[in-house]
Structure formats: C-alpha cells, structure tokens
C-alpha cells in the first residue's frame, strides 16, 4: 500500500502568520532528543513516516504527513487522530482527546528512531558481510581498506574485553559483543552530527538501552552455571541466608539496569549540554555571545566524541564481565595460547 505512505518531502511553511513566537530552549531541546513520526531533514523539511495503529476495530495505516502541521486532525477510518508532543492521540470530532478511545489504540508506527535503527542494522550487515567475503577471498593476506580500519577494533574487543572477562569460552559470545559494540558506537557517532539527515538520539532513548540490557540479562541467566546460582541461593555462611539471598536476587536485575541507565544518561546529557550552549545565542539574542557558545560547543563535542567510544566500550566490557561471572566454574581456568 505504497500510496498510503508518500515519500515526497514536506515543508512546514503554512504556520499562521502573526507575532513571532518567543524562543523556548526547553521546547527546542526536548524536541531534538524525542522520537518523532517523521524523518527530519534540513530546516523545516521532513519526510513523513508510516503510521501503523492497532485498534479494537482494526488496523489503521496512513502517512504521518496527514498530522502536519502540528494540531491538524486526521479523520481516520475508525477514529480521529492528532499529534501531541510527538505522540498520536485519538480525539473526538471537536478535537478533544478521547481518553476511552486512546486505551483501545496501540501505536506500532515506524518512527524516526525505528527507521534509523533499521538503517544502522543495514549498515552493519553491509559492512561485516563485505568484510567476511573479503577475508574468504584473501586468506593469509594482510588486510586492506575497510578491513585494516575495523580489524584493530575487532581484535581489541576479542583480546582486551571478551578473553579476559569470559575466558576460554569467549568465542561463543563474540558475535553478540561485537554487534552490541558497533551498534552503540555507530549510533553514538551519528547522533553527534547536528545536521545529519534524520539526526537522532537513538542511544539516548531509554527504550533502546532497556532492550539491550534485557538481552544481556537473558544471555547471562540462560547460560549461567550452577556455581552462579549456588552463590545466589546458597551463600556462605548459612546464617546470612535471610539477608544475602534478597540482595543477590536484586543484583540479578540491578546489573542490566545499571547498563541501561548509564548509556541513556550519558548520551542524553551530552545532547542536552550541546543544545543548551547553542541556545545561549538565542536566549541572549545577541551575536556577541556566539563565539563563546561555539567554543564551548566544540569543546563539549570533543568530549562527546570520546564518550561515544567510551560508552560503547563500557557497555560491552561490563556485558562480557557479567557473562564471565555467570559461566565461570571453579577450577575451570585454562591457559589460552
């Protein structure tokens, strides 16, 4: 149903004329870090994304362009809809939000974060499948091109992250660790580009970091050995059972929660700081402040570049550490040559 999802570029030029709205830094910053139902380009231009709603009366699909500009009511097949703070809400004929109807509407739309996540996944597949093909064709030869650029990172994850923390069984978990590391790194870097088409805040979205954390939680507990569970449910000495067992059970969930919060908070904080510094120019309404603002933005962006790599490394390193703690058996140490 391609016709329902137009791909032309829209421009929000039909706003009501009148007095210019006062600059609100909070609104601008929150809009930037929030997920959206359109793919933002340059300025006010955007590409509408498909809206997919599951209701008690059936599935509704239409273009998010029907909800623009903000405040536009779209008369759907089953309900009327409006976009409020980047969320689709069902409304009555008068435009008032219908609380009862909203409980029956589930949003499965392709948002900007989802589209960018697919883009990242496609990029990872293209890069690593091409590298795999090159390795097969150049067996025993020195790496070149993209190989020579990414191979040091791959060897770093293997030799300095997976092997020391997991041990001799590290190979089984290398695909997971490499996927997590490069997925976080690429999205961290793309999120730093201020004018990147569709520039987004994927790793600053707590839903995304929560899914990554849940994956690690499942992997750790499905592969855990009996020594791991014995440590949790049979602490030594026995008289500490009432205290230690609840603490250990909480620790099972606190570890992935720490992964989730750390990545989300660091990336979101970086975006907010940079946007706040840029906003100073408009808050003071003076170009005299712009040199100071730009200098601080460049400084913070340099730090954020380090943070982009650091957070990908920390998430991967802690994930491998949690896996290693779960699968390690006593006296199960072998020398790896």
User: What residue ranges do the domains of the chain occupy?
Assistant: 2-11+21-109, 114-327
| SS3 per-residue string spanning 297-309 | HHHHHHHHHHHHH
Has residue 337 got a pLDDT over 80?
no
Model confidence band, residue 277 (pLDDT cutoffs 50, 70, 90): confident
pTM flag (> 0.75): yes
More confident residue, 140 or 210: 210
Model confidence band, residue 192 (pLDDT cutoffs 50, 70, 90): confident
Question: pLDDT over 90 for what percent of the chain?
Answer: 31
Q: 2 with 62: CB under 8 angstroms?
A: no
Q: How far apart are CA 245 and CA 78, in angstroms?
A: 52
User: What are the E-state strand segments in 68-174?
Assistant: 74-75, 80-84, 87-91, 105-107
Q: Are strands 45-48 and 38-40 parallel, antiparallel or unpaired?
A: antiparallel
Q: 259 with 315: CB under 8 angstroms?
A: yes
Residues 6+ apart with CB under 8 A from 82: 67, 71, 72, 73, 74, 88, 89, 91, 95, 97
Mean pLDDT lowest for which of 29-38, 204-213, 291-300?
Answer: 29-38
How far, in whole angstroms, is CA 188 from its chain's centroid? 8
What pLDDT is recorded for position 220? Answer: 93
Question: pLDDT over 70 for what percent of the chain?
Answer: 89
Has residue 236 got a pLDDT over 90?
no
Q: 161 with 146: CB under 8 angstroms?
A: no
Angle between helices 174-192 and 146-156 (to 10 degrees): 120
**Given strand 80-84, what is the order of strands in its sheet?**
74-75, 80-84, 87-91
Q: How far apart are CA 239 and CA 275, in angstroms?
A: 54
Q: How far apart are CA 185 and CA 309, in angstroms?
A: 6
What pLDDT is recorded for position 199? Answer: 59
Model confidence band, residue 285 (pLDDT cutoffs 50, 70, 90): confident
Partnered with residue 105 across adjacent β-strands are 55
Q: How far apart are CA 31 and CA 270, in angstroms?
A: 15
Average pLDDT, the chain: 83
Mean pLDDT lowest for which of 47-61, 163-177, 218-232, 282-296?
Answer: 282-296
Q: Which residues of 46-55 are buried (b: 16+ CB within 10 A; e: fewer)?
A: bbbbbbebeb
Q: 275 with 29: CB under 8 angstroms?
A: yes
Has residue 77 got a pLDDT over 90?
no
Model confidence band, residue 174 (pLDDT cutoffs 50, 70, 90): very high
Model confidence band, residue 52 (pLDDT cutoffs 50, 70, 90): very high
């Amino acid at each position: 149903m391609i016709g329902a999802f137009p791909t032309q570029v829209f421009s929000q030029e039909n706003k009501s004329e009148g007095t210019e709205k006062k600059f609100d830094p909070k609104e601008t910053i929150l809009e930037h870090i929030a997920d959206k139902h359109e793919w933002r380009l340059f300025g006010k231009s955007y590409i509408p994304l498909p809206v997919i709603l599951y209701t008690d009366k059936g599935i509704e699909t239409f273009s998010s362009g029907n909800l623009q500009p903000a405040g536009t009511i779209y008369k759907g097949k089953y309900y009327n809809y409006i976009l409020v703070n980047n969320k689709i809400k069902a409304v009555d004929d008068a435009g008032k939000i219908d609380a009862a109807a909203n409980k029956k509407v589930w949003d499965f739309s392709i948002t900007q974060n989802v589209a960018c996540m697919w883009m990242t996944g496609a990029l990872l597949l293209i890069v690593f499948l091409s590298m795999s093909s090159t390795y097969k064709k150049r067996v025993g030869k020195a790496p070149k091109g993209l190989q020579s650029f990414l191979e040091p990172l791959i060897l770093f994850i293997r030799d300095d992250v997976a092997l020391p923390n997991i041990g001799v069984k590290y190979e089984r978990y290398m695909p997971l660790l490499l996927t997590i590391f490069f997925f976080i790194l690429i999205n961290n870097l793309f999120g730093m580009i201020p004018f990147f088409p569709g520039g987004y805040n994927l790793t600053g979205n707590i839903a995304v970091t929560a899914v990554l954390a849940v994956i690690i939680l499942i992997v750790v507990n499905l592969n855990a050995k009996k020594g791991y569970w014995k440590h949790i449910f049979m602490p030594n000495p026995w008289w500490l059972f009432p205290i230690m067992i609840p603490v250990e059970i909480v620790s099972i969930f606190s570890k992935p929660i720490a992964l989730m919060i750390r990545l989300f908070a660091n990336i979101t904080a970086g975006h907010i700081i940079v946007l706040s510094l840029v906003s100073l120019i408009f808050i003071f309404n003076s170009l005299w402040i712009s040199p100071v603002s730009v200098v601080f933005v460049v400084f913070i962006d340099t730090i954020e570049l380090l943070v982009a790599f650091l957070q990908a490394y920390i998430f991967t390193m802690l994930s491998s550490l949690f896996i290693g703690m779960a699968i390690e058996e006593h006296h199960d140490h072998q020398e790896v040559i």
